[in-house]
Structures are given as structure tokens and as C-alpha cells.
Structure 1
Amino acid sequence: MFNGSRLTLARKRRQLTKKELAEKARLTALTLTRLEAGETPEPGGDTVRSLAQALNYPAEFFYLCDSEALNSEAVSFRSLSSLTARQRDAALAAGDLAFELHAWVADRFELPAVQLLDLRDEDPIAAAGALRSHWGMGAKPIGHMVKLLESKGVRIFSLAEQHKHVDAFSCWRGDVPYIFLNTFKSAERSRFDAAHELGHLVLHVHGTTNGSRNVETEADRFASAFLINRGDLISHLGRVNSLAQLVSAKSRWGVSVAALARAAFDSGLISDWYYRDLCKQMSSLGYRTAEPQGLEREKSVLWKMLFDELWKDGITKDRIAAELHVPLDEIESLVGELVTQPPPTPTSSGKRPMLKIVS
């Protein structure tokens, strides 16, 4: 039976209004509204083909069961005020498709177990220290943030939205934590975004927060403390006397020069007046938009391992898209920026691989 909610999902992913889609599919707005509302359970084949063509989605997608829609209240949109309704809905719809891709993968692989803590009653800086201790990290810098998170059971997906307003977002679905990273940002910003969203996952579990709390500030404080251990910062950076010193040192912690400056200021390594002067220098040099001595973008270790195993059996992204009845571009936007696909080497396995990431 035709599923109107699937039509709505595809339309939102393509960032189209009902009126726009109706025009592209050469339907009336009333017809489209009735289809999405489920008031026309069995539309004609020509109608379905027109919709499939307009959305570039397989016709079979519209006959799948309901997806469990991701609610905006359950996710952490850092820049919610600057998002348009289309951008927000498209990002949420990407989450729905990510859940289905994850379910497809989880049926075939033993994925890393979730090792997060519930730290909702902790101060953000104390929470960062507690999680570092729980994971046996000590004070050392984090060499590969995405790899670390994946090894601890966080499912990482990309957001190929190609605009700056959706920084990243995170959510819990059942007992599984998800982080969606916008690959439009710099490598340093993406690492901070990942740590910021980790803060949301452990501090604001399942979106449950006290309304008086500034959750974004809390997540920022967590991210800074998690990426930059204060003792390590003081011992390796010392008193800051120039912007060049920060630019040279930032690679140790894999953060932006602005994030390092703020951490140094919070740790008493920069005076108030000099911090303000450094901020002016960074702005005038364009460091807010173009990071000096930029790092290489982190790639997913887990997705690389997954695709390596699938390719041994000749299973490519095209095959996965076909089995999920979604366009290949949706698979690419969820994982394409996280991994580079090598040529498949078909073999026969027959076992359900257990994936272990050494962090």
C-alpha cells in the first residue's frame, strides 16, 4: 500500500514544499496533500512514477512501512535559530534514513558496544574528566576524534548539506547514540562539533534537561575540556605571548586557534585584555572562516571496516541503496564524506563479522 509518510520524508529530504513538488510532478496541490495524508491509499501508477521522477527516489520507497520520525525536540541543533524550516526538516529526514541504514548494517555486523556514561547531573568540565577517566585516556590529546567515538559505540554519519547553518547534531534512538557531522566545516571545527555533540549525549541524555540550563554553553565547555586537558595545556603551552604561538601549538590538540585561545584564557594563560586583542587579530586575519595550518579531515574507521567486509562479498553502496530502496546519493550523503571506497575484492565469508576498533 502507498505510504504517504514516505512521500513526506522524500519531499523534505529534497527540501521541497508541497506546492513545489506538485508542480514538478505535474499534480495538483490538493492531490499531493491527500497523498501525504494517506487519503489516497492507492494512487495510479502514472502518479507514482511522476513523484518518483520528480524526487529522484525509487517508486518502491513509497511502499515501505512507516519510518520512526526523528523529532526536533530529541536532537541538539546548535544553530536552530539560523536554520530555515527546510534545512531543519531535511536534516531530520537524513536522520530517519540513517536509522534505516544503521539497522541494515546492524543485522549483518556486531558493532562496537555503547560505552557512554549518564552524566546529566555533573558539571560539564567534571563530566569531561569523568568520561576521559572511564575510557582510560588520562591527559593525553585525542589523535582521532571520530575513531575514538566509534570505538565507544557512537554511530557517526555525515551531513552533506553544504551550508554553514547545520553545524552538527546528535540524538539517542533507544540505547544507541548518533552524531551527524557537517562536512562543510573545517577539520578542526568538525572535531570540536563531535566533542560538543558528545557533551549533549552524556549531559543531556535523550534531550532531558532542566529548562533553565544553557545546554549549548554546557556542551561547549564539555568539548573544550574533553579535547584539551587543562594540565596538559598548562605544561605544554605555558603563558601565551603571541598569536603565532597559538597557531604553532594548536595541532597538538587538533582544535582551531580560536578554541585554543579560549581554553588558554579559561586556564589563566592569557590575560583578559590580551585575549580580547587576540580575538581582534584572529578576526582581522580571517581565522574565523579560514583556519591557519589546517588539519586533514578525519575519516571514519568503522565505515571503512564495514565497507571492506561488504566489498569482500561484492556488496557495494549501489547494492545497499537498492536493498533499502533509496537513491544512491542518500547513502553517499550519509557516509560518502567519511570513507573512500576502494575497488571490491569479492570473496565468500558466511560469518557475521564482529568489528572492533582499537582506540
Structure 2
Amino acid sequence: MLDAVCAATGTPRSFFEVDPDDLPADTLAFRKTASSSVTEVERVSATVREAYGVSARLLTEVGMRRAVLPRAEGDLDGDDIERLAEETRDALGIARDSVMQHLTRTCERAGIPVVPMMLLDRGGNAEDRVIGHFGASCWRGTEDPSLISYFSASSGDRQRFTIAHELGHLVLHPARRHISPKLAEQEAHRFAGALLVPRERAYEALEAPFQLRELGELKARWGVSMQALIMRSRHLEIIDKERTQSLFKQIANRGWRLNEPVIVHPEQPLLMRTMMTRRFGKSGASSRQASEELGLNLVLLRSLVPEVGAASSVATAQAPRADVVNLASRRRQVPDIEIADRKSDWG
């Protein structure tokens, strides 16, 4: 029976023979929509757990060093989250007031794998998309490896916010499992904004009253969506609730809710490919040996190790002002717009 299942789904026999990692149920956090079905959540959970098992094993086998992240305890307010975001920058080796040039690489240098995620259908084939999910994070314990995964990196600003949000879960929630999922998501949103746009720089850049054109320029600079910048302003009380709603309505009326002006290229992970190469040679994730030893479907294993070479980052060391230059040519596409009305907590 197992041989028949393996043949039908492309799953190696070793998948059924290895003991899964002991990953407690409450150490996996999602960034998802409220409409996500129970079945889909279970499928995502199972897939992320398998990815965690592979990444944790590779981290141990190749001897990857891991940075020690700050860990929140007890009840938190906004100032606590701002402080923890600053301490996280310290732990990651990033200046507290600088632009986060490449968030994915920063996490990976700290020993936190960041992987794209896909689901497999019943035939073991990759599905085109995951509906209702943005990202996930998981950990086994405060001293053990952790993992960040993201779904659908069509825009770099969304990808970066999702990764920062999941990093927030790793900092804020391993020792605070008693809080509600809703509060955990709100805290992770606040943390993501604080990590990507430090408080003092936000006060300087987001002085009210600002227009959408100015948000476009800041998006190019910080690699953060215009909508996330609006919420950052709200969290810091630079603007009030009514102005926040007005700005979101402007964006909705312009059709920018899912397609904002100013392109931020998706970032590309590298750590998993590096570890796979060290462990299995140049063939890495394409190797049947890797699939058998790690006990993971070859298609799924390959999805965790994307090809090198795609465009990445908002303002890389090689081209530090690329997106600012792009914005200059787009400025007429980001007009001043009258105030309207909208509610959102989207980053």
C-alpha cells in the first residue's frame, strides 16, 4: 500500500519511515485571511511542518550559527513592541535607524531560513497558488531553530512586510502563548512596521499632512507599501482615525488596493540552497538522494530552494537608489487625491 501511495504522489518511502519533528501545535503562526478554510489551514500547517523539519535538520548538519533574538514576556504595549523591534535590529546586526536593505538575507545571516511555500495536489504536483495565506512562521522552542515561509511573492513590499510580520511572531510569541490569535496578529503588524520603518525615522518622514505622492517616494526608499506606511502613521499617532480611513479610501478608489504604484522587486532567499549544496553537492534539491534522505516529496523540496538570479530587494548595495530613480519617472502617475474614507489594517 505504501509503495502504491509513493508511486501515485511522488513521495519517497522514507517519508513514512522517519519520525517527524516534535513541533508543538501552538508554535506555528499564520498570516492569513479570515476566509481561509479549515482544510486549507490544515494543509498549510502540514506543509510548513515538513519544511521546518528539513530546515532544522540542515541547520544542525551544516553547523549554521543562529543569532539570539530578543524574546517578549508578559503584557506588551506599543512602546514595548517598538523597543523589541529596535533590539531585533541589534540582534540582526542592522543599525536602528537605517533602511532594511534586504530583509530576507538579513534573516538568513541570522540563521533563520526564509522559504517560498507551495502546496501539492493529490498527484504530488505543485498548485499555482495558495488562497487566503500570506505567510507562516514556526519554532520548536526558544533555543531551537525557527522558520519563516511566505506565499506568493508577486510584490516585494508585500513579501517584506510578511517576512517582518512573521519575524515579529518569533520575537513576540514563543513565551506568550496565552494571548489571543487576534492580539498576536495586531502585535505582529505593529512589530513589522516598527522593524521596517524605525520610529524616529517615521516621525521625520511622515510628518502630517502628507499626500499619496509622498508615500510613493517613501515606498521606493523603505521598500514598504503605501498602505503599510499609512498604518505606521496611525500606530504612531501621526494621523488620526478619520485621516487613516480617508487615505485608504483614496487608494481603493484608484484601484491601488492590490496594485500600488512604484515597483519593489521581491527578494530572493539563498540560505536553503546554500545548505542543500553543502550537504548534497551541486545537485542539491534536485537530487533524489536529498529527497530520500530528508523524506520529502521532490517537487516540494525543490520549491523550498528557488533558482538564483531573479531581481530582488528594494535598494540593494549594487543599486542603492534604483527605485528612487524609477519613482522620478513615475511621479505623474502618483497624483494628489482628495480625502475620502476607508478602513484597513493591511500592511
Q: Could you say whether these structures have the same fold, taking a TM-score greater than 0.5 normalized by the shorter chain as the test?
A: yes
TM-score by length of 1: 0.72
Where does residue 113 of structure 1 map in the other structure? 66
Q: Return the letter of the residue paired with 2:298.
A: L
Report the counterpart of residue 245 of structure 1 in structure 2.
Answer: 214
Larger Rg: 1
1:82 alignment counterpart: 35
1:333 corresponding residue in structure 2: 303
The Cα shift of 1:145 comes to 0.8
Structure 1 residue 224: Cα displacement: 0.9
Bigger shift: residues 159-168 or 247-256: 159-168
- Change over 3 Å in CA distance of 1:316–1:131 after alignment to 2: closer
- 1:57 aligned to 2:11? yes
Letter aligned with residue 158 of structure 1: P
Determine whether 1:166 maps to 2:143: no
Distance 1:165 1:276, change over 3 A: same
- State the 1:238 CA deviation: 3.1
* Aligned position for 2:340: none
Distance 2:114 2:107 in 1: 8
Note the C-alpha offset of 1:131.
2.4
Is the contact between residue 216 and residue 262 of structure 2 (CA under 8 Å) also seen in structure 1?
yes
Contact 2:208 2:239 survives alignment (8 Å): yes
- Taking a change above 3 Å as real, the CA distance of residues 105 and 228 of structure 1, as seen in their structure-2 partners, is same
Corresponding residue for 1:29? Answer: none
Report the counterpart of residue 200 of structure 2 in structure 1: 231
Secondary structure of the structure 2 residue equivalent to 1:295? coil
Aligned residues: CA RMSD: 2.7
1:316 maps onto 2:284 in alignment:
yes
Matching residue's letter, 1:242: Q
Are 1:66 and 2:33 matched, yes or no? no
Distance (Å, rounded) in 2 between the aligned partners of 1:206 and 1:155: 21
The alpha-carbon distance between structure 1 residues 304 and 236, as it changes in their structure 2 partners (threshold 3 A), is farther
**Equivalent residue in structure 2 for 1:205, among 174, 190, 200:** 174
Is there any run of 5+ residues in structure 1 with no aligned partner, and where?
1-46, 343-359
Percent identity (aligned): 26
Following TM superposition, by how much is the alpha carbon of 1:103 offset from its aligned partner in structure 2, in angstroms?
4.5
- Is 1:129 aligned to 2:94, yes or no? no
Q: Secondary structure at the match of 2:115?
A: strand
What corresponds to 1:156 in structure 2? 114
Aligned-pair CA distance for 1:73: 2.5
Equivalents in 2 of 1:258, 1:141: separation in Å? 18
How much has 1:323 moved relative to structure 2?
3.0
2:161 to 178, 187, 192: 192
> Offset at 1:85?
2.7
Equivalenced residue count is 292
Report 1 or 2 for greater relative contact order, CA contacts < 8 Å, sequence distance ≥ 6: 2
| AA in 1 matched with 2:53 | E
Gaps of 5+ in 2: 120-128, 311-347
